[in-house]
Amino acid sequence: MRRQFAVNLLASTLLLCPLFTAGSQSPSSGLEHVVESNLEREFAAAMSRVAALRETDQSMAITVTELFKDISDRHPLVDFRNFLVSRYQFQRVWTVAGNSEYTNIEGPALTRFDSRFPSNNMVRISFRYDSEWENILTFYGSLFGGEYP
């Protein structure tokens, strides 16, 4: 009797496992979509802040990391990096400062965010890694272009 009960319990459990697995995948993918949608909105807002800064500051190079602070406060840097990698091409480099990875957003990709960006501008988002390329230590945002003084 106990053996039959154990067999029935095992069979029922095996039948229900796919249902629990299938059900748990939907919310997860829905959550990822929400996070990506939030990042997209927050990134567009940050780029608009960079464009507003460009209107008043025509320097050749400006550090704009602080204008992305909302993103870095709300999201892990790896999520921010993965969001950008899904949209832009990244380059990996080793410098005396360590391992870095960056993307340049320029031309039509930049002016799609905000028409206030002049055509000769470029926004660079860089991530600095540990020596094994496993952990992102920090990120930087820079705006290049502008007018010569």
> Does 136 have pLDDT greater than 80?
yes
> Does 19 have pLDDT greater than 80?
no
Q: What was the pLDDT predicted at 148?
A: 54
> Does 11 have pLDDT greater than 70?
no
Q: How much is the pTM?
A: 0.74
Q: What was the pLDDT predicted at 37?
A: 80
> Does 138 have pLDDT greater than 80?
yes
Predicted confidence band of residue 111 (pLDDT cuts 50, 70, 90): very high
DSSP assignment of 30-60 = HHHHHHHHHHHHHHHHHHHHHHHHHHH---S
Contact partners, residue 111, CB within 8 Å, separation at least 6:
117, 119
